[in-house]
Amino acid sequence: MRIVKFMKFAMPLLGALSLSNAYASGGHVELADVTIEPTPQAVKAGAQIVLENCVQCHSLKYIKYRHLKEIGFTQEEIDKARGDKGMNDSLERGMDINMVRDMFGLVPPDLSLMAKARKGGGVYIYSLLTAFHQNENGDTDNSVFPGIRMPDVMSYSFASSEAEKEEIQKTVKDVSAFLVWASDPNAAKRESIGVYVIAYLLLLTVLYYLLKKRIWATVGERQAAEQKAKQQEKASGSHPQTSEA
Ligand code: HEC
């Protein structure tokens, strides 16, 4: 009885220890060597795929249907995606929460900020979705997230040819681009504002420089005038106070 209690207490600790050992001994995973460019085409295409393949299990609570307009969805496309939900509704999980919990033993995480939450961002998401493979037992596993409870929804591990794999990689790139956009929808706007801010600061710098030159010019003039006055005083031998009066 006692040993059972001890084991219950000790096992998670041992687990944590062996996990940290795995990391210490280079258990860290290599991410794919790709760049994820959130171009408007990629973001829109990715959104379409996420709406079709991810939102049954995952919510994107910070993204609302009306936001899809910003990435090029037409009203018609949004209406098709939202069904009876409002334009101001968030992208909610399609499945009932108890049902997903029963299926996976946990609630799949919200994806709106996932690209910010994981080291590597979009590259992590790309790597994760293309890291599914069949292990020696014929079970699906994931080399980026071993033992992940998410199924291989993009069917990467079932691709039977290189061409098919490449096709899925391209799709997954779009998915990742969309999730990068979703984690910071105002990034593009901010960048364009940034250009104006920098132009404004440059203009201010020039103006201040000109102003400084003017101020110092008058200082120089005054100094020269004082110098001249002093020389004249010396020459005439008079007292400065009387000469000024
Ligand atoms: C059938 C349900 C299901 C679908 C569909 C699904 N996922 Fe998941 N997903 C999960 C579950 C369950 C987890 C939690 C895995 C875990 O922690 O073991 C998860 C976790 C994740 C994670 C987090 C991994 C981490 O590092 O914690 C990402 C990213 C993710 N999913 C992306 C996606 C994307 C993108 C799609 C669509 C292409 C998708 N998922 C579709 C069930 C699903």
Mean of pLDDT over the chain? 88
CATH of residue 37's domain is 1.10.760.10
Per-residue pLDDT band at 10 (split at 50, 70, 90): low
pLDDT of 179-217, one tens digit each? 999 999 998 888 889 999 999 999 999 999 999 999 888
For the chain, the helix, strand and coil percentages under 3-state DSSP, each to the nearest 5: 60, 5, 35
Contact 42, 178 (CB under 8 A): yes
Averaged pLDDT for residues 59-79: 97
Same domain, 90 and 193: no
Q: Do 161 and 224 have their domain in common?
A: no
Does residue 113 form part of some domain? yes
46 and 113 housed in the same domain: yes
Contact 141, 90 (CB under 8 A): no
Tell me how far the alpha carbon of residue 142 lies from the centroid of ligand 1, in angstroms.
12
211-222 residue pLDDT tens: 999 988 888 888
What is the whole-number distance in angstroms between the Cα of residue 56 and the centre of ligand 1?
A: 10
Q: What pLDDT score does 188 carry?
A: 83
Choosing from 51, 119, 128, 150 the residue with most ligand 1 atoms within 8 A of its CB, the one to mutate for a pocket test is 150
Q: Are residues 176 and 203 in the same domain?
A: no
> pTM of the prediction?
0.76
Does residue 237 lie within any of the structural domains?
A: no
The contacts of residue 222 (CB under 8 Å, 6+ apart) are none
Domain residue limits at 98? 29-184
How confident is the model at residue 112, as a pLDDT?
A: 97
Atom of ligand 1 nearest to the CA of 118: 26
Name the domain count of the chain: 2
Residues 196 and 180 reside in one and the same domain: no
Q: Is 153 a pocket residue for ligand 1 (Cβ < 6 Å)?
A: yes
Cβ-contact 93, 56 below 8 angstroms: yes
pLDDT in tens, 99-145: 999 999 999 999 999 999 999 999 999 999 999 999 999 899 999 99
